[in-house]
Amino acid sequence: MFISVKLLLISILILATNLVAIGSPVVDPEVAWYEGFFEDKQQKPLEEGLKNLTSRLNHATTTQDFAQKAKILKELALTHLTRTNDYEIAMDYLIQCLAIEDSLNLELQRIFTFVAMAHVFEEVSNFNKSEQLLEQALNFNATIKNPYVEVLILNELGQIKASMGKMLEASLNYETVLKYKDLIDNPKAEAKALFNIAHIYSTQGIYNRALQTHRRALQIRRAINDKSKEALSLNDIGELYRRMKNDGKAMANHRLALKIRQMLDDKRGMSESYNNIGTLYYQQKKYNLAITNLTAGLQAALESQTLEQQQKSYDYLSFCHKELGEYEEALNRREQCVVVSDFIENQKNDQRLLESQNRYVIDTKESKIETLEAERQKRDEQLSRQKNLRNFLISVIALAIIIVGLILNLYKVKQRSNADLQVINEKVKQQNLQLQALNATKDKFFSIIGHDLKGPLNSLTSFSGLLINHVDSLSREEIQMLAKDFDKSLKNLYALLNNLLEWSRSQTGNIEFNPETFDITSLLRENKELLCNQAHNKKIGFLDDLNGRVAVRAHRHSLNTVVRNLVSNSIKFTPEGGLIKLGLTRKHDHVLVSVADTGVGMSQDVITKLFRIDAKHTTKGTADEKGTGLGLILCKDFVEKNGGELWVESEEGKGSVFYFTVPLAQ
């Protein structure tokens, strides 16, 4: 006991000495290690770094150094997060890391894992999950009470809440960071909090408060010689003065920011500063000076491949040349601006699609994190029980017989716990296999959608290009032919998107399959009337064997989608002169609906692939109609959710009959 107290006093003395030491700010090594991944600095080649980390990971695995293995896994995750932007791989490494840290009860390291996971969810715009993970990290740190870690989490949490529009809560997080400045010497974190508070004031239009706060951040960054962040503060102060109509001070701050960025050879920052200066000259009608700076900004933007600044340079150069009467040059710059704008918009669309896919993939891993958290809580409860048991043993240590009895009891508890853990681990293993199969199916689905969307869109692009570039050389008949092909592609794209929307709504539970009583005969006849023109255009006969009203109990809208898809398929795969027939048969507790055709039919091999998303099969119709590949999958899903079954009987060259059942109304 005396030795423990002595060690505690020595630790406190060392901490106090560090806090009051004159010289470099005290930096928590774990916080510095984590933040280093997000700082702009010269890094060794990515491939070499990943190879080195993989080698270290293999060594740690071989030597069973699990604590070191967890740290290397986290380092791999942060490398993929910050440099390759492969968020799925990053999350996989973090989940493996968390499992080890939970098992070893590495409390501090687990906090950084939660912060890194929050960053991954932030990158895929799942701010709610990011906020939840940061709050958990904050709760974990409440037991450790590490002020440096607390400041890191609060700054991250403030940024997330600001992104969610929770400006008041974000401000409270940053203000809490500022309260730590007397306890810890972390000027970078203090300047970051002030900078973010200033941004909130600026967003709210409180420019004077924003300016004061920005100046405090600037003063700190100058004191610690953080040139890159100093230029960032000067740039924002310049923009604030511009909004406040004080062009002189705006210009002075932008010039100071430019000077620093030139010294750092920061091309991206130089393009921003040159453009801001050029914009101010344009507003002052000093067009030649504006052109000089905007041209320099354009050059820096081209070298740094900064599209937004390229767009701004071209935009204001066009304005300047127009004001000087140089209309040809103005038009040229405007055209360049439009090209860059279109490229930026295409990039944004690609980014939104990628972000949507990444978010889907990352969100599917939430269950793994929740499973690990549940296991951790269970282990904590077990550890707590064991601790209480040890205390009890110490309190009755004088009674030897009781001690032996309690030790035996503890051994049995441990045996049961190990058995329970083995059962849980086996269950988790099975769940992981199921999740992998589900992920493979979903990946295949996205691949199908990406491929099928590309076809119609490429056709539409080709048709529009022909109409735009060769309209004068095309005859009326050729234009009509192109228009028909254009219309066919649009309808195919519409059908694909409609089926995709219906399928995704059913999978996410956005369609409530609330049954209602209705006449299925009327529904079949409505679809026959809707699609009869389509059949007549292909010279296909359309008959029905529907007699009298038949009341069923099901979700009308989904069954309407099923009938429409099945009839459309029959029309598509039936040649001219063929026949389609709708049938309806009462059974003892359900109705059997049939859609028969005299079309091309299918082999048994094709039939086995019809209703599987992981083995999607699509064939052109008898008039070269394109399929979406989702219609029959959607039909099977809707029929089964209404308590029925869907199947097909077919033979090549002899047509097909699709059957489905619907429960009768009681």
CATH number of the domain within which 617 lies? 3.30.565.10
The answer to whether position 479 is within a domain reads yes
The answer to whether position 508 is within a domain reads no
Residue 76, pLDDT score: 92
Instruction: Give yes or no: residues 445 and 540 share one domain.
Output: no
Instruction: Give yes or no: residues 577 and 528 share one domain.
Output: yes
The answer to whether position 70 is within a domain reads yes
User: Please, what's the largest Cα pairwise distance for the chain?
Assistant: 108
Q: Is the pLDDT of residue 13 over 60?
A: no
Residue 22, pLDDT score: 35
Specify the higher pLDDT residue, 402 or 487: 402
The answer to whether position 648 is within a domain reads yes
Q: Is the pLDDT of residue 415 over 90?
A: no
Distance (Å, whole) CA 47 – CA 84: 10
Distance (Å, whole) CA 467 – CA 474: 8
486, 504, 526 - which closes a domain: 486
Q: Is the pLDDT of residue 498 over 80?
A: no
Q: pLDDT tens digits for 157-181?
A: 999 999 899 999 999 998 998 888 8
CB distance 242 to 264 below 8 Å: no
**SS3 call for 585:** strand
435, 470, 486 - which closes a domain: 486
- pLDDT (average), residues 201-219: 92
The answer to whether position 275 is within a domain reads no
Instruction: Give yes or no: residues 468 and 523 share one domain.
Output: no
Alpha carbon 534 to chain centroid distance? 41
**What is the 3 state secondary structure string of 336-360?**
HHHHHHHHHHHHHHHHHHHHHHHHH
Distance (Å, whole) CA 201 – CA 236: 12
Where does the pLDDT of residue 12 fall: very low under 50, low under 70, confident under 90, or very high at 90 and above? very low
Residue 360, pLDDT score: 60
Residue 432, pLDDT score: 81
- pLDDT (average), residues 262-277: 93
Number of domains in the chain: 3
Listed residue (487, 527, 480, 478) closest to 626, CA to CA: 487
CB distance 627 to 609 below 8 Å: no
The answer to whether position 652 is within a domain reads yes
Instruction: Give yes or no: residues 653 and 521 share one domain.
Output: yes
Residue 485, pLDDT score: 65
Name the average pLDDT for the chain.
82
Alpha carbon 421 to chain centroid distance? 33
Instruction: Give yes or no: residues 624 and 555 share one domain.
Output: yes
Name every residue whose Cβ is closer than 8 Å to that of residue 26 and which is 6 or more positions away in sequence.
18, 19, 184, 185, 186
**Domain limits for position 550:** 515-663
Distance (Å, whole) CA 613 – CA 632: 10
Q: Note if the pTM is more than 0.85.
A: no
Specify the higher pLDDT residue, 505 or 229: 229
Instruction: Give yes or no: residues 525 and 650 share one domain.
Output: yes
Q: Is the pLDDT of residue 532 over 50?
A: yes
Residue 660, pLDDT score: 94
- pLDDT (average), residues 91-119: 89
Instruction: Give yes or no: residues 470 and 526 share one domain.
Output: no
Instruction: Give yes or no: residues 481 and 553 share one domain.
Output: no
Residue 125, pLDDT score: 83
Instruction: Give yes or no: residues 476 and 522 share one domain.
Output: no
- pLDDT (average), residues 34-62: 84
Instruction: Give yes or no: residues 528 and 470 share one domain.
Output: no
The answer to whether position 189 is within a domain reads no
Residue 645, pLDDT score: 93
Beta bridge partners of 409: none
Look at phi and psi of residue 92 and say left if phi exceeds 0, alpha if psi is from -120 to 50, else beta.
alpha
Instruction: Give yes or no: residues 447 and 528 share one domain.
Output: no
**SS3 call for 545:** strand
Q: pLDDT tens digits for 124-170?
A: 888 888 899 999 999 989 988 899 999 999 999 999 999 899 999 99
